[in-house]
């Protein structure tokens, strides 16, 4: 079964392998098959996933609350830590209330279908994350796709369409291109057309706007018409996701979002880790400063070497080096230099690229090694 399909994937160089890693390494390193690489593949932007006080917080919570949550949140799976994290993340995002979801994927596929349903219209950026696309597919609303970051196109389309409710959905930082949505213009269009704005701030949280995310970055004040989704699994180094929004929206999600209602709650140790990470991000801005310094250093080096990086504006930097085959070979060559920077291929992206993500945990030497490896592979 499926052997022909698998053979086709192999033939087209699209077959994917899992590369599981070994135990914790020094910062920004990854152990694969007992070989240590400098890791340029992680969304752990602030290097928090190995942070001692976060690990300690998780360990203490296991001792206090046990491991598995044992039930969904609406039964008995939640703890007082869940409620505290929701309160803190709502404050951090400047919104009324928040709700934890088990992952970013679950948040998008569960919330979108109940925020826009039959008779409504969703406007979605063509490069939105797969979880948004799947959330839209699950929704009974009409879907209208606008060209990537093209506010004129969005404006044109939103004027033409008439429905009960309109909702514009965009990633804030696009996960494969590393560019940023023009949120100011998008939010103005939403205000003009009385549309809800749903943002996926997975890669903006902990990275933009002193860590508070894209709204702060653009100086946009949260309103009841703005719904902010984000994750604990990237810059916050933990796991899980949240939606921060108006109280009514949160109540509605608690009562309708299937991935929230019908799934076991996140364990308290994961919640404790997210709480500690949030605490660190709020109190130590030096991590975000380092992240952006590293990003600028790497970006300048790539420009000096003449690499094409699409429109990257963030620590996510796509490096376009050729077709799928060339990109795979490039990534393999980098591995020979002990650098892990995977090739991203169709169908994840249309244009194959090496997706580099630089973090606060990289040193100047790490970045120079990457640049040297890239110069060699070119």
Binding site for ligand PMP (CB under 6 A): 103-105, 108, 129, 131, 171, 175, 200, 202-203, 231, 233, 241
Q: Which positions are catalytic?
A: 175, 203, 234
Tell me whether residue 42 or residue 327 sits nearer to ligand PMP (CB atom): 42
Between strands 166-171 and 196-200, the pairing is parallel
Q: Are 266 and 100 contacting, i.e. CB atoms less than 8 angstroms apart? A: yes
Q: Are 341 and 334 contacting, i.e. CB atoms less than 8 angstroms apart? A: yes
Please list, residue by residue across 36-75, b when 16 or more beta carbons sit within 10 angstroms of its beta carbon and e when fewer do. Answer: ebbbbbbbbbbbbbbbeebbebbeebeeebeeebeebbee
In angstroms, give the least distance from the CB of 352 to ligand PMP. Answer: 18
Tell me whether residue 186 or residue 241 sits nearer to ligand PMP (CB atom): 241
Tell me whether residue 200 or residue 276 sits nearer to ligand PMP (CB atom): 200
> Which among 343, 317, 288 is positioned nearest to 46, based on CA atoms?
288
Tell me whether residue 77 or residue 204 sits nearer to ligand PMP (CB atom): 204
In angstroms, give the least distance from the CB of 376 to ligand PMP. Answer: 29
In angstroms, give the least distance from the CB of 57 to ligand PMP. Answer: 19
In angstroms, give the least distance from the CB of 225 to ligand PMP. Answer: 21
Q: What is the DSSP letter of 275?
A: H
Tell me whether residue 244 or residue 377 sits nearer to ligand PMP (CB atom): 244
Q: What is the DSSP letter of 113?
A: H
In angstroms, give the least distance from the CB of 118 to ligand PMP. Answer: 25
Cite the beta strand spans of 137-285 per DSSP E: 142-146, 166-171, 196-200, 226-231, 241-245
**Furthest-apart CA pair in the chain: how many Å?**
58
């Amino acid at each position: 079964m499926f052997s022909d399909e698998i053979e086709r994937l192999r033939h087209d160089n699209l077959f994917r392998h899992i590369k599981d890693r070994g135990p914790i390494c020094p910062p920004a390193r990854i152990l694969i098959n007992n070989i240590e690489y400098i890791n340029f593949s992680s969304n752990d932007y602030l290097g928090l996933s190995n942070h001692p006080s976060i690990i300690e917080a998780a360990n203490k919570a296991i001792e206090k609350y046990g491991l598995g949550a044992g039930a969904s949140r609406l039964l008995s799976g939640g703890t007082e830590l869940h409620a505290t994290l929701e309160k803190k993340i709502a404050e951090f995002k400047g919104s009324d209330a928040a709700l934890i979801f088990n992952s970013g994927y679950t948040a998008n596929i569960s919330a979108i279908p109940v925020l826009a349903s039959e008779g409504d219209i969703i406007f979605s950026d063509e490069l939105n994350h797969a979880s948004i696309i799947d959330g839209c597919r699950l929704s009974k609303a009409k879907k209208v796709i606008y060209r990537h970051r093209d506010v004129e196109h969005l404006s044109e389309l939103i004027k033409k369409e008439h429905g009960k409710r309109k909702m514009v959905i965009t990633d804030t930082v696009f996960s494969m291109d590393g560019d940023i949505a023009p949120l100011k213009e998008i939010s103005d269009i939403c205000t003009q057309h009385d549309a809800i704005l749903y943002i996926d701030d997975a890669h903006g949280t902990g990275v933009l706007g002193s860590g508070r995310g894209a709204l702060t970055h653009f100086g946009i004040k949260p309103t009841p018409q703005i719904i902010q989704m984000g994750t604990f699994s990237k810059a916050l180094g933990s796991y899980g996701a949240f939606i921060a929004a108006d109280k009514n929206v949160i109540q509605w999600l608690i009562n309708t979002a299937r991935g929230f209602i019908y799934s076991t709650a996140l364990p308290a140790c994961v919640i404790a880790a997210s709480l500690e990470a949030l605490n660190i991000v709020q109190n130590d801005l030096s991590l975000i400063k380092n992240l952006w310094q590293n990003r600028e250093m790497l970006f300048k080096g790539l420009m000096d070497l003449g690499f094409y990086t699409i429109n990257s504006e963030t620590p996510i930097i796509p490096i376009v080096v050729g077709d799928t085959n060339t990109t795979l070979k490039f990534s393999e060559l980098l591995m020979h230099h002990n650098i892990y920077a995977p090739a991203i291929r169709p169908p994840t992206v249309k244009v194959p690229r090496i997706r580099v993500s630089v973090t606060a945990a990289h040193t100047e030497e790490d970045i120079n090694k990457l640049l040297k490896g890239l110069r060699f592979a070119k």
